[in-house]
């Protein structure tokens, strides 16, 4: 299909930003006073606050609260344009970016490029697990999981009413004991033991089994042994079964199989599995690697220069989860600080100011919430646990949620869930659970359901030509029948 190139509207320096996540949004905003035009191209229309996805999946927050429209956030930034599209190609020689949406292709030129396309879920070479154990990377994942989690309780109620064994429906397995897995397991346990305890008649939701499985020997490895141990103890108090040193070897519709270091294999019957185990950098990294020779690491992250540019291409910056530099972690602050650095570097060059020198990441610490009033935080050498860590988590997330509207409504929903027993966002639909799998079975995904303008025009022309020929044939037949006296009233009789 022919790609269209938008007309260059100004002679100013053109910056293209790929992605509307932490790197993309903060990079674009940092350029608001620069003498440049910025085009942000992203495959979703929203800016996603990934750290709270698990709260959408467990019915605490709505998707709107953690994913405000990028267009609205940037509406006051006159030099920024937002384009919807999945970037499928970057031509470093021609300095163009090709993006697609519903089969329509657009080519955008740049003078400087900031690539912030993030990372996806990794199933360590077992991509077929994804159908039975969705990851936690985007809004679709969170809504599908919400449907699966609440749906499992519904199906268990029906089964129990008929006197069937429903253990497999009331067993929830979270794979991966990093912050996302810990938060997810904690929330499902709270849901089962607290939120839903009065809602069912045939089942007792408090009997639900919540398991957190990991091949590593401890939970939250980056937090160190002490905080990891504390988090594990808190999870166990909540009723979560923590299974460590267990490698997941198979996942299917009805369960999961794990292998232990001593060779023992165990199968757990569970309909609802959640994958929070591995990360793989965006495939655009491979395109960039092929064109520059910059190596990729095992997670697909691209090695960048100390100033976040690509070898031989000082006009291209890569930031956030896509980069392999000095063992930087895949966290929001790396993306935010990297994007701000890249924006400043672009401005410095335009103003002929000296470079800032190599990029330095300032580690502000990490935290993970276990359940209401329970969290762990590591800030430098300082370890904080319990209510204090939870309050720190609350304050920090309120600051970082984008937009006043979202902050107010999130605070309200947190009050409902943490002080009360309820969850404000329990709505689920069949489509949320099954639509993605159905779309995946179409050859070109959603594009197969929508005509592109070219084929629409051609189809309409063909229809018009066929219809005209049919009408002409019909008219000729009418004349023939009338002339033969077989149809209608002869003209002379009508007049008479
Ligand atoms: C469930 C979860 C919980 C997390 N919790 C924390 C936490 O508590 N603290 C913390 O610091 N970090 C956390 N992280 C990590 C943090 O969210 C990431 O490190 C951060 O989002 C990276 O920013 P980024 O800009 O590199 O990528 P992202 O924020 O992922 O943004 C990538 C953007 O690129 C777009 N995109 C992708 N491919 C294309 C394409 N081909 N064309 C166009 N657009 C594309 C995406 O739609 C998205 O807008 C968490 C991550 C997850 C998944």
180 within ligand 1 shell (Cβ under 6 A): yes
The full DSSP string for 102-138 is TTEEEEEE-SEEEE---EEEE-TT-GGGGGTS--SSS
What is the pLDDT averaged over residues 26-46? 98
The band of 189, judged by pLDDT with boundaries at 50, 70 and 90, is very high
pTM as predicted: 0.89
Q: How far, in Å, is the centroid of ligand 1 from the Cα of 101?
A: 20
136 within ligand 1 shell (Cβ under 6 A): yes
pLDDT value for 487:
58
What is the pLDDT averaged over residues 435-441? 87
Of 182-196, 223-237, 391-405, the range with the lowest mean pLDDT is 391-405
| Helix, strand, or coil (residue 302) | strand
User: Which atom of ligand 1 is found nearest the CA of 117?
Assistant: 34
> E strands, 31-190, where?
36-42, 80-84, 86-91, 96-101, 104-109, 112-115, 119-122, 171-175
- Among the listed residues 183, 234, 345, 425, the single catalytic one is 183
Q: How far, in Å, is the centroid of ligand 1 from the Cα of 364?
A: 18
Most confident option among 268-272, 396-400, 491-495? 268-272
The band of 455, judged by pLDDT with boundaries at 50, 70 and 90, is low
320 within ligand 1 shell (Cβ under 6 A): yes
The band of 9, judged by pLDDT with boundaries at 50, 70 and 90, is low
pLDDT tops 80 at residue 327: yes
Of 368-377, 448-457, 473-482, the range with the lowest mean pLDDT is 448-457
Spatial contact of 34 and 351, defined as CB atoms under 8 Å apart: no
Please provide the average confidence, as pLDDT, over all residues in the chain. Answer: 92
42 within ligand 1 shell (Cβ under 6 A): yes
Both tokens assigned to 42: 């992203």
| Helix, strand, or coil (residue 243) | strand
Spatial contact of 421 and 194, defined as CB atoms under 8 Å apart: yes
pLDDT in tens, 154-184: 999 999 999 999 999 999 999 999 999 999 9
The band of 484, judged by pLDDT with boundaries at 50, 70 and 90, is confident
pLDDT tops 80 at residue 30: yes
**Which residue from 378, 344, 90, 421 is spatially nearest to 230, judged by alpha carbons?**
378
Q: How far, in Å, is the centroid of ligand 1 from the Cα of 73?
A: 17
Q: Which residue has the higher pLDDT, 48 or 410?
A: 48
pLDDT in tens, 349-408: 999 999 999 999 999 999 999 988 999 999 998 999 999 999 999 988 888 887 778 888
Spatial contact of 299 and 122, defined as CB atoms under 8 Å apart: yes
The band of 221, judged by pLDDT with boundaries at 50, 70 and 90, is very high
- Residue whose pair of structure tokens reads 């937090």 in the numeric block: 223
pLDDT value for 225:
93
What is the pLDDT averaged over residues 469-487? 79
Q: How far, in Å, is the centroid of ligand 1 from the Cα of 471?
A: 57
Q: At what angle are helices 224-238 and 179-190 packed, to 10 degrees?
A: 20
pLDDT in tens, 94-146: 999 999 999 899 999 999 999 999 999 999 999 999 999 999 999 999 999 99
pLDDT tops 60 at residue 418: yes
Percent of the chain with pLDDT over 90: 77
pLDDT value for 10:
72
Domains in the chain, ordered, with CATH?
A: 13-43+85-122+280-350 (3.50.50.60), 127-277+372-440 (3.50.50.100)
What is the pLDDT averaged over residues 23-35? 98
pLDDT in tens, 283-306: 999 999 999 999 999 999 999 999
| Helix, strand, or coil (residue 32) | coil
CA distance 48 to 26: 12
The band of 482, judged by pLDDT with boundaries at 50, 70 and 90, is confident
pLDDT value for 6:
55
pLDDT tops 90 at residue 5: no
Task: Judge residue 63's burial from the number of C-beta atoms within 10 Å of its C-beta, 0-12 exposed, 13-18 middle, 19 or more buried.
Answer: middle
pLDDT value for 481:
78
pLDDT value for 492:
47
The band of 86, judged by pLDDT with boundaries at 50, 70 and 90, is very high
Spatial contact of 288 and 90, defined as CB atoms under 8 Å apart: yes
pLDDT tops 50 at residue 494: no
282 within ligand 1 shell (Cβ under 6 A): yes
Let me know if 183 is a catalytic residue. yes
């Amino acid at each position: 299909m022919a790609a269209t190139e938008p007309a260059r509207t100004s002679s100013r320096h053109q910056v293209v930003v790929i992605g509307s996540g932490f790197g993309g949004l903060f990079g674009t905003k940092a350029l608001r006073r620069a003498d440049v035009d910025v085009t942000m191209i992203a495959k979703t229309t929203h800016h996603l606050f990934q750290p709270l996805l698990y709260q959408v999946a467990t019915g605490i927050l709505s998707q709107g609260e953690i994913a405000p429209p990028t267009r609205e956030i940037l509406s006051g930034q006159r030099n920024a344009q937002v384009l919807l599209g999945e970037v499928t190609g970057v031509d470093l020689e021609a300095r163009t970016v090709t993006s697609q949406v519903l089969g329509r292709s657009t080519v955008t030129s740049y003078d400087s490029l900031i690539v912030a396309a993030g990372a996806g879920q990794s199933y360590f070479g077992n991509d077929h697990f994804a159908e039975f154990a969705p990851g936690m990377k985007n809004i679709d994942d969170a809504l599908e999981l919400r449907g699966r989690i609440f749906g499992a309780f519904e199906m268990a109620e029906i089964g129990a009413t008929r006197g069937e064994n429903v253990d497999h429906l009331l067993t929830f397995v979270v794979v991966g004991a990093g912050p996302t897995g810990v938060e997810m397991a904690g929330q499902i346990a709270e849901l089962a033991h607290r939120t839903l305890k009065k809602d069912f008649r045939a089942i007792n939701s408090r009997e639900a089994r919540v398991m957190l499985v990991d091949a590593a020997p401890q939970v939250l490895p980056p937090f160190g042994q002490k905080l990891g141990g504390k988090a594990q103890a808190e999870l166990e108090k909540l009723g979560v079964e923590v299974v460590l040193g267990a490698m997941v070897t198979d996942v299917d519709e009805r369960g999961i199989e794990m292998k232990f270091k001593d060779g023992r294999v165990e199968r757990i019957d569970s309909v609802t599995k959640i994958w929070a185990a591995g990360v793989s950098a965006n495939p655009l990294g491979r395109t960039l690697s092929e064109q520059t020779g910059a190596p990729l690491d095992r997670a697909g992250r691209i090695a960048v220069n100390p100033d976040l540019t690509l070898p031989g291409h000082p006009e291209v910056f890569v930031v956030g989860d896509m980069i392999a530099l000095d063992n930087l972690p895949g966290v929001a602050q790396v993306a935010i600080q990297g994007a701000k650095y890249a924006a400043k570097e672009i401005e410095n060059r335009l103003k002929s100011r000296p470079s800032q020198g190599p990029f330095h990441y300032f580690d502000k610490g990490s935290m993970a919430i276990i359940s209401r009033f329970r969290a762990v935080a590591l800030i430098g050498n300082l370890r904080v646990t319990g209510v204090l860590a939870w309050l720190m988590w609350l304050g920090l997330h309120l600051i970082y949620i984008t937009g006043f509207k979202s902050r107010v409504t999130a605070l309200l929903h947190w009050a409902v869930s943490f002080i009360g027993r309820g969850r404000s966002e329990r709505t689920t639909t069949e489509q949320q659970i099954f639509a993605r799998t159905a779309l995946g079975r179409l050859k070109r995904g959603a594009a197969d359901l929508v005509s592109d303008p070219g084929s629409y025009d051609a189809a309409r022309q063909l229809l018009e030509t066929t219809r005209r020929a049919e009408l002409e044939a019909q008219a000729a037949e009418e004349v023939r029948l009338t002339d033969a006296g077989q149809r209608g009233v002869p003209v002379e009789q009508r007049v008479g």
